[in-house]
Amino acid sequence: MSAATVVRTRFAPSPTGDLHLGGARTALYAWAWARRHGGQFVLRIEDTDLERSTPAAVQAIMDGMHWLDLDWDEGPFFQSKRMVRYRAVIAQMLERGTAYRCWASTEELDQMREQQRAQGHKPRYDGRWRPENAARTGLTPPAGVDPVIRFRNPDEGSVTWDDLVKGPISIANDELDDLIIARGDGTPTYNFCVVVDDLEMQITHVLRGDDHVNNTPRQINILRALGGQEPVYGHLSMILGPDGEKLSKRHGATSVVEYDAQGFLPEAMVNYLARLGWSHGDAEIFDRHELVQWFDAAQISRSPAQLDFDKLRWVNAQWLKRLTPVELAKRLEPHLKKRGWSEAAMTSGPDLPIACALVFERAHTLEELAD
Ligand code: GLU
């Protein structure tokens, strides 16, 4: 990255549910990295899976980001609204020969894989519809079948990138087959849309969960075929439950806004999530300005982070102590209302700030304080 390059990061959630802790941490890191460099943070909604994407989930994600005060500079861009653009890029690739039509049927592909397995090979598409192969073997398009479009993956060499979190990673091209970039009905596939977007949105740093690490070499190849230069990638390790297992509902709230209802402060949540997989010396309690000042994506931990609810409660208690009694009383109001307090009761009853000042030392959350 040259000194003149503006840092542009993005958060690209698929709107299929609430903003989970893992997604929130990814968004926070991407936001902090952009802010650290005076760059831009883009919000992109990856809603190409129309069956699983819902407007409610889009709203839930944005609510979560608002609550954490992660402001974005551009977007939200919706992939579902960019179909014309994706199709245009595919047409261009077909013309240039970096993509081609493939008429192989499902049965044919199954058979191909079975044979490969029987011969002890790793199953992969054999490139039979690459134009030169089809010409050689005399394949002609069957009537009445809509072809898929495949990316022509390079045969030789390997894809290497220096992952910000995981270090150098290299995948041989012969491990990658020709990826489908558009289905028979013309709709573009997930990996393809990501590449077009990262390129056209001029993203310089992609921070995302390490469940995407296998997509990266494919995305880099497509990006190069489009004449783009790859961004810096950083793949974040998972957040695990306190027992070291994959985080799930049974561990407690997985969605960030549930922590709002439970009486956690957004400042504490930002602080806690930032520390979950990253550190700055022995600093435990810091605000977003300090985070932005200190955040170094190259120092994100490689090992999975483990949730620790006692630690989160402790961080929250520290943040309750940082608020003035007046501010504390203001934050407490929704929790009192939940308990049936009317506006009048809150102003005519005991002086809330004074009451808060008397008892806040004992509370870990606003809910406890309200009780
Ligand atoms: N939409 C993907 C997800 O929610 C993220 C893809 C990316 O960041 O590249 O997992």
How far is Cα 237 from Cα 55, in angstroms, rounded to an integer? 28
> Is pLDDT at 1 greater than 60 in this prediction?
no
Does residue 123 contact residue 116 with C-beta atoms inside 8 Å? Answer: yes
- DSSP assignment letter at 307: -
How far is Cα 238 from Cα 258, in angstroms, rounded to an integer? 20
Q: Counting atoms of ligand 1 from 1, which one is nearest the CA of 13?
A: 4
How confident is the model at residue 358, as a pLDDT?
Answer: 79
Section 335-353 average pLDDT: 85
Least confident residue range of 235-249, 269-283, 338-352: 338-352
The encoded tokens of residue 83 equal 């179909």
The per-residue pLDDT of the chain, averaged, comes to 95
Q: How far is the CA of 84 from the centre of ligand 1 (A)?
A: 21
Name the strand (E) or helix (H) holding 10.
strand 8-11
Q: Counting atoms of ligand 1 from 1, which one is nearest the CA of 10?
A: 8
Residues whose CB falls within 8 Å of the CB of residue 2, separated by 6 or more in sequence, listed in order: none
Do β-strands 40-45 and 8-11 pair in parallel, antiparallel, or remain unpaired?
A: parallel
Residue of 230 and 253 predicted with greater confidence? 230
How far is Cα 68 from Cα 34, in angstroms, rounded to an integer? 16
Give the number of other Cβ atoms within 10 Å of residue 15's Cβ.
24
**pLDDT (tens digit per residue) in 120-153:** 999 999 999 999 999 999 999 999 999 999 999 9
How confident is the model at residue 342, as a pLDDT?
Answer: 85
352 falls in which pLDDT band (50, 70, 90)?
confident
- Which of 165, 191, 194 maximizes ligand 1 atoms within 8 Å of its Cβ, making it the mutation to test the pocket? 194
Q: 294: buried, middle or exposed (CB in 10 Å: 19+, 13-18, 0-12)?
A: middle
Cis peptide before 76 (omega within 30 of 0): yes
> Is pLDDT at 304 greater than 60 in this prediction?
yes
AA identity, residue 236 = L
How confident is the model at residue 356, as a pLDDT?
Answer: 81
Does residue 317 contact residue 361 with C-beta atoms inside 8 Å? Answer: no
**pLDDT (tens digit per residue) in 147-175:** 999 999 999 999 999 999 999 999 999 99
Q: How far is the CA of 45 from the centre of ligand 1 (A)?
A: 9
Spot the catalytic one: 122, 246, 249, 321.
Answer: 249
> Is pLDDT at 88 greater than 80 in this prediction?
yes
Residues whose CB falls within 8 Å of the CB of residue 81, separated by 6 or more in sequence, listed in order: none
Q: Counting atoms of ligand 1 from 1, which one is nearest the CA of 198?
A: 9
How confident is the model at residue 4, as a pLDDT?
Answer: 59
Does residue 221 contact residue 213 with C-beta atoms inside 8 Å? Answer: no
**pLDDT (tens digit per residue) in 42-59:** 999 999 988 999 999 999
How confident is the model at residue 341, as a pLDDT?
Answer: 87
Phi, psi of 11 (to 5 degrees): -115, 130
- Which of 46, 205, 216, 238 maximizes ligand 1 atoms within 8 Å of its Cβ, making it the mutation to test the pocket? 46
Helix/strand/coil percent split, the chain, to 5: 45, 15, 40
To the query of whether residue 249 is one of the catalytic residues in this protein, the response is: yes
> Is pLDDT at 102 greater than 80 in this prediction?
yes
Q: How far is the CA of 159 from the centre of ligand 1 (A)?
A: 20
The encoded tokens of residue 239 equal 């957040």
Section 85-108 average pLDDT: 97
How confident is the model at residue 155, as a pLDDT?
Answer: 96
Q: How far is the CA of 196 from the centre of ligand 1 (A)?
A: 14
Do β-strands 239-240 and 305-306 pair in parallel, antiparallel, or remain unpaired?
A: parallel
Do β-strands 40-45 and 74-78 pair in parallel, antiparallel, or remain unpaired?
A: parallel
The 10 Å CB-count burial string (b at 16+, else e) for 343-362 is: eeeeeeeeebbebbeeebee
Share of the chain above pLDDT 90, in %: 89
Q: How far is the CA of 369 from the centre of ligand 1 (A)?
A: 38
Give the relative orientation of helices 55-68 and 266-275 as an angle to the nearest 10 degrees.
90
Residue 285's closest CA among 298, 277, 296, 275? Answer: 275
Which residues on neighbouring strands pair with residue 78, listed in sequence order? Answer: 45
> Is pLDDT at 189 greater than 60 in this prediction?
yes
Q: How far is the CA of 299 from the centre of ligand 1 (A)?
A: 22
How confident is the model at residue 306, as a pLDDT?
Answer: 95
With tokens 């970039």, the residue in question is 181
Alpha-helical regions (H) of the chain:
21-36, 55-68, 83-96, 106-118, 131-137, 190-200, 216-225, 256-261, 266-275, 288-294, 309-322, 325-337, 343-348, 352-359, 366-370
Q: How far is the CA of 370 from the centre of ligand 1 (A)?
A: 38
Does residue 47 contact residue 14 with C-beta atoms inside 8 Å? Answer: yes
- Which of 14, 28, 54 maximizes ligand 1 atoms within 8 Å of its Cβ, making it the mutation to test the pocket? 14
18 falls in which pLDDT band (50, 70, 90)?
very high
35 falls in which pLDDT band (50, 70, 90)?
very high
With tokens 């049927």, the residue in question is 105
Name every protein residue with a CB atom under 6 angstroms from any ligand 1 atom.
12-14, 46, 194, 208, 212
Residue 165's closest CA among 194, 198, 207? Answer: 207
361 falls in which pLDDT band (50, 70, 90)?
confident
- Which of 44, 199, 208, 235 maximizes ligand 1 atoms within 8 Å of its Cβ, making it the mutation to test the pocket? 208
How confident is the model at residue 351, as a pLDDT?
Answer: 84
How far is Cα 295 from Cα 216, in angstroms, rounded to an integer? 24
